[in-house]
Structure 1
Amino acid sequence: MSHPARPAVRGVSLVELMVALAIGAVLMLGLVQIFAASRAAYQLSEGASRVQEGSRFAVDYLQRDLRMAGHFGCVNDQTHLLQGPATFTLASATAGTEAAYNALPAHQQFHISMQGYEANGTGSGAARTLPATPSIGDASQWTPALPPEVAGRAVAGSDVLALRFLAPDGVPVTGFNPGAGNAPTIGFDAERGPVLRAGLAGTPQFLGVADCSFVTVFTSPGIAEGSSSVEAVVGAGQLGFRNHFEPGNAQLFRAESIFYYVGLNPVGEPALYRLRYTGPGSSEVEELVEGVETLQFAYGISGTSANRPTGYIGEVHPAGSGGLGNAATSEAAAATWRLVGAVHMGLLVRSPNPAAVVRGEEGSEYHVLGVQLTPSAGDTRARNAYETTVALRNRLFGN
């Protein structure tokens, strides 16, 4: 019996196996390269998007509050203060003088609507390397030195800005009872009361009442929900109210006392913070935008004519120079701060996470208001610098 011939069985030779493995390795390497390039492009795009988004929010917050500087009802702070001390009153002072106002804690100095604190070593033409790990600075690292309200909060190398003004929305005064000891009770429409508390976690204790001739900023126990009146708190030896306001002509406002600074959030990342004082020793801290690495400010000073600002910006100086010194100890400095009509603002924003390493990106230099900033070695975060100028609408031309 004959058996059919079996077909020849052939395997894969070693050479063919090696060629196949080589082709597979090349294909896998190509896929890995495509994935790595896609991931790098995503990181770069994500970092740039986060930087751009954060910068828009930061600039918006700062611009909005900067434009309110000098708002005290229907006339601005220059008009009130340059007309004479009787037109502007801080009820908690011991007298209606510049010296008495300067003696108050920084967050109660509403006679100075704006004051800056320049981080030492960050003037125009300066150069500094950004630290890999930002740290909180000592109060003496700013000129003038930081007040107790914000000392121990701000990151070294970044300017600090203080703003004080009456909130844009007020409620009409419906009654004014002078009361005993020059501590009046001010009535208002209870339905409009929420306007005074809007945006606050607690209740405001700093308030201001103003008409087109006078303004008084005072401290209250707070405004309870549903309340239709508020009483001023006047301590022994304090000035209290020097003027009486007529219902229908005056409005009641929340008085804003704000510090902007770069601080460290709970995970150690730099962020733009707003410290808002709602009363003596009572404050709310808000983290506004993560990734803001530094703030820089320069202040445009208006000339004066007939005891009023002209609105023409003739000089630009950082805080601590050009007469912009420590207003708490100098009447001349306080007067100069009231002549600031424009603010040059710059900020450097970085991405929360490292971005892709791009040729020329690592170690790149950034310039913010003339300050050269260089990231530390090996830092691959996406960054960008932003600058703008804000005109203070309550300051220009005496308004």
Structure 2
Amino acid sequence: MPAITPFRRQQGASLIEIMIAITIGLLILAGVSSLFVRNSRAHDEIRRANEQIENGRYAASLLADDLRNAGYLAEFDPSSMATPVSPDPCATDVASLAAAMAMPVQGINDVATAPTCLSDVKTGTDIVVVRRASTCAVGETGCEAAVSGAVYLQASGCNSATELGSGNVNTYYALSSSATSLTKKRVDCVTTAPLHRYRVHIYFVANNNVSGDGVPTLKRAELGPSGFSIVPLVDGIENLQFEYGIDSLTAATGMPASWAADAGSDAAWRNVVAVKIHVLARAATASAGYTDAKTYTLGAGVSYTPTGAAANYKRHVYETTARVNNTAQRNM
């Protein structure tokens, strides 16, 4: 008869072993959680930095592109027009718009009182006005269709006594929101000259993107059929400063003879041939535990050192120079 194997009692973990296992598990969990938090914060900082870089570069590029086209008026050359007298950037009547065409770039330095068509403008920043026609004509591929009530420019190519042959610069072009007034002809004096949408863009820094959000934003007021409308362009733009390259008023060369933050006179504004653009871009959200102690220089004599809660944001200055091609070429 085989021997009977004695019954073996099953043994489990003791209370001490369970407590040790729990402690080890908690330590591992804490390490993993800490790693996750650090990775998450690093990811957020990378995202903030990428957004800041992209926004700053885009804002500078956007401004430069528009300034390069300032003064484009199709085939019309405004050189013989009278110098406008302190034109109102917010004017919408055709007579005022026509008079201001000879001043394609106009700036307001360190704004204290903003033009009436702007709102929420950040005090101490600069404003720049760009006047030009659209670089494409109505009906061309890729160009917008005619908009009812919008202002259009029509440059004459006809050397008749009622247009280019008149000796009166006011007959060399038509500027109107009414189709019945846009009757200028091409060089054959028969075909109707093309229509170019007339644009006035006013760039400024607003205190908020959306009312009360505290995110400084580059915005643009755009002339439209019902006056000016404000369009947010790039958030996180904290400051905007310009320096203007002014051609010689006595012997124009198409090159800057001097640089200034404020041209100082209507004749000088008319002869701006280049613009230095200084953009201070800030992250949209604060960085935990970060204090910005840097001083940022935005052109000659303009600097900014963040203090208080503003020092918790990372920021960077972006700079570029745009040649005002149409004015510079005409002056040459």
Q: TM-score, normalised by structure 1?
A: 0.65
Aligned to 2:102: 111
Deviations 1:355-374 (A, max 9, x none): 4545xx54444333342241
Secondary structure at the aligned position of 1:303 is classed as coil
Q: Which structure has the highest strand share of the two? A: 1
More RCO (CA 8 Å, sep 6+): 1
Deviations 1:175-221 (A, max 9, x none): xxxxxxxxxxxxxxxx55994647xxx53532222247654353324
Aligned alpha-carbon RMSD (Å): 3.3
Secondary structure at the aligned position of 1:38 is classed as helix
Secondary structure at the aligned position of 2:23 is classed as helix
The alpha-carbon distance between structure 1 residues 395 and 110, as it changes in their structure 2 partners (threshold 3 A), is closer
1:76–1:394 Cα contact (<8 Å) kept: no
The alpha-carbon distance between structure 1 residues 58 and 352, as it changes in their structure 2 partners (threshold 3 A), is same
Structure 2: where are the runs of 5+ without partners? 158-163
Distance across 2 between alignment mates of 1:105 and 1:40: 45
Distance across 2 between alignment mates of 1:211 and 1:5: 116
Displacement of 1:297 in angstroms is 1.1
| Structure 2 residue corresponding to 1:265, chosen from 202, 209, 220 | 209
1:40–1:355 Cα contact (<8 Å) kept: no
Which letter maps to 1:291? G
Q: State yes or no: 1:156 paired with 2:123.
A: yes
2:209–2:232 Cα contact (<8 Å) kept: yes
| Structure 2 residue corresponding to 1:366, chosen from 293, 296, 303 | 296
Percent identity reads 24
Q: State yes or no: 1:314 paired with 2:257.
A: yes
The alpha-carbon distance between structure 1 residues 98 and 346, as it changes in their structure 2 partners (threshold 3 A), is closer
The alpha-carbon distance between structure 1 residues 118 and 196, as it changes in their structure 2 partners (threshold 3 A), is same
Structure 1: where are the runs of 5+ without partners? 86-96, 121-140, 172-190, 222-229, 234-243, 326-332
The 5 A counterparts of 1:1-399 are 7=8, 12-13=13-14, 15-74=16-75, 76-77=77-78, 79-81=79-81, 85=82, 98=84, 102=87, 106=91, 108=97, 109-119=100-110, 141=112, 145-150=113-118, 152-170=119-137, 191-192=139-140, 195=143, 197=145, 202-211=147-156, 214=169, 215-216=172-173, 218-221=175-178, 230-232=179-181, 245-248=184-187, 250-263=193-206, 264-266=208-210, 268=213, 269-279=215-225, 282-306=227-251, 309-319=252-262, 324-325=263-264, 333-355=265-287, 357=289, 361-369=291-299, 370-374=302-306, 376-377=308-309, 380-397=312-329, 398-399=331-332
Secondary structure at the aligned position of 2:196 is classed as strand
Equivalent pairs counted in the alignment come to: 302
The alpha-carbon distance between structure 1 residues 75 and 305, as it changes in their structure 2 partners (threshold 3 A), is farther
Deviations 1:3-38 (A, max 9, x none): 975546666455544433432232122112210111
Aligned to 2:160: none
Displacement of 1:116 in angstroms is 0.8
